[in-house]
Amino acid sequence: MIDLIRSHLKNCHAKSLSRKEEQEIYIFSVFAAWRETLRASELVFEIGSSPFRPALALLLLLQLFNGCRTSPTEPSGTTPLSTTGVYVVNEGNFQRGNSSLTVYLPDSNKAYQDVFALANGRNLGDTGNDIVVHSGKAYIVVNGSQKIEVISLVGYRSVGTLTIPGKRGPYRLAILNDAKAYVTNISDTSITEFNPSTLQITIDRIKVGNNPMGIVGANGKVYVCNSGFGYDSTVTVLNATTGGLIKTVFVGDSPSEIGVGPNNVVIVKCDGRSDYSNPANDTPGSILKINSDNDVVIVRAILPLVTYGHPGRMTISNKGVGYFQAKTGIIKFTYSGTGLSIGGTPFASVAGYGLAYDDATDKLYVTDAKDYAQPGDVFVFDVEGQQKAKFQAGVIPGAIAFKR
Q: In this predicted model, what pLDDT tens digit does every residue of 240-264 receive, in sequence order?
A: 999 999 999 999 999 999 999 999 9
Q: Is there a domain that residue 265 lies in?
A: no
Q: In this predicted model, what pLDDT tens digit does every residue of 339-364 receive, in sequence order?
A: 999 998 899 988 899 999 999 999 99
Q: Is there a domain that residue 7 lies in?
A: yes
Q: In the chain, what is the straight-line distance between the N-terminal and C-terminal CA atoms, in Å?
A: 40
Q: Is there a domain that residue 250 lies in?
A: no
Could you give the number of structural domains in the chain?
1
Q: In this predicted model, what pLDDT tens digit does every residue of 87-131 receive, in sequence order?
A: 999 999 988 999 999 999 999 999 999 999 999 999 999 999 999
Give the pLDDT score at 242: 94
pTM of this structure: 0.83
Q: Is there a domain that residue 235 lies in?
A: no
Domain residues for 15? 2-36
Q: Is there a domain that residue 9 lies in?
A: yes
Q: Is there a domain that residue 10 lies in?
A: yes
Give the mean pLDDT of 274-285. Answer: 93
Q: Is there a domain that residue 16 lies in?
A: yes
In which band, very low, low, confident or very high, does the pLDDT at 6 lie, cut at 50, 70 and 90? very low
Q: Is there a domain that residue 20 lies in?
A: yes
